[in-house]
A = this chain, B = another copy of it.
Amino acid sequence: EARGCDVLYAELYTMKLSATLSALSELIGKPVTLLHRGDLEDRSSIIVEEANAKRVGILVGGDCLSATTHISLVLEAKQKAVETRIIHGSSIFSAIAETGLSIYKFGKTVTMPFPDKGSPDTVLRGIEENLSYGLHTLVLLDLDNEKNTYMAAPYAVQGLIDAGMRPDTLVVAVARLGRPGSIIRAGKAQEVASLDLGEPPHSLVFPGSLHF
């Protein structure tokens, strides 16, 4: 599908990808231009204008509409009557079923922020709310792709313990889900806080009720 485009952009800043830009270009057989943080927000109208005349493809990691930026772009295109086509990819939101926890039983998803960007209170409250209905909670971990900084699962769990989570809370940590060498580890929070799970991306799941 990408091969049929006149112009190709890649948006790699909302996730940690194992693919590089040159590997993408080689695979597709066409040059791919990297978008920087904010390009899709600040320069969206330029891209939509371009798509008026040409077939413009934007490659993103994961499923393309999980991030609000991409939904905004589609809306802007629709407003300007520029035709869009969405090709869904695989996503942590369904891949998390690899933990063995039923995808039907997940409640609201929350993101654990870096300390300078927010408090873990929202995360604790989200887990508690879901738990009160017996639902599992997927906790996504903050990242700063331009600084090449990704929150590790053990670091996040320690942050939650420091914010008041019981150290014996059951937690499942996953690393590199859907890629070769992925890891899934369940244990008490205090144990998971001292694991080494290797390269990012990592995520956490706090199971709700495990009985049916």
Which residues of chain B come closer than 8 Å to A97, judged between CB atoms?
63, 65-66, 71
Which residues of chain B come closer than 8 Å to A133, judged between CB atoms?
107-108, 129, 133
Q: Do residues B109 and A107 form an inter-chain contact, with CB atoms below 8 A? A: no
Which residues of chain B come closer than 8 Å to A93, judged between CB atoms?
91, 93-94, 103
Q: Residue A43 at the B interface, CB < 8 A?
A: no
Number of identical monomers bound together in the oligomeric complex: 2
Interface residues of A in 81-125 (CB under 8 A from B): 85-91, 93-95, 97-98, 100, 102-111
With A106-B108, A107-B135: A63-B90 Cβ-Cβ less than 8 Å: yes
A135–B130 Cα gap in the complex (Å)? Answer: 10
A66–B102 Cα gap in the complex (Å)? Answer: 7
A62–B90 Cα gap in the complex (Å)? Answer: 9
Chain B proximity of A204: nearest CB distance (Å): 15
**A: contact size bracket:** 35 or more
Q: Do residues B98 and A86 form an inter-chain contact, with CB atoms below 8 A? A: yes
Look across to chain B and name the residue whose beta carbon is closest to the beta carbon of A72.
B100
With A88-B178, A129-B133, A133-B133: A104-B110 Cβ-Cβ less than 8 Å: yes
Which residues of chain B come closer than 8 Å to A91, judged between CB atoms?
63, 88, 90-91, 93-94
Chain B proximity of A61: nearest CB distance (Å): 12
Q: Residue A20 at the B interface, CB < 8 A?
A: no
27 A-B pairs (CB sep. < 8 Å): A63-B94, A65-B98, A66-B97, A66-B103, A71-B97, A75-B100, A85-B180, A86-B98, A86-B178, A88-B90, A88-B178, A89-B90, A90-B90, A90-B91, A93-B93, A93-B94, A94-B94, A103-B109, A104-B108, A104-B109, A105-B108, A106-B108, A107-B108, A107-B133, A107-B135, A108-B133, A129-B133
| Chain A residues near B (Cβ < 8 Å) | 62-63, 65-66, 68, 71, 75, 85-91, 93-95, 97-98, 100, 102-111, 129, 133, 135, 178, 180
Instruction: Give the 9 A-B CB pairs with smallest separation, nearest first.
Output: A88-B90, A65-B97, A91-B94, A63-B94, A93-B94, A88-B95, A104-B109, A88-B178, A66-B103
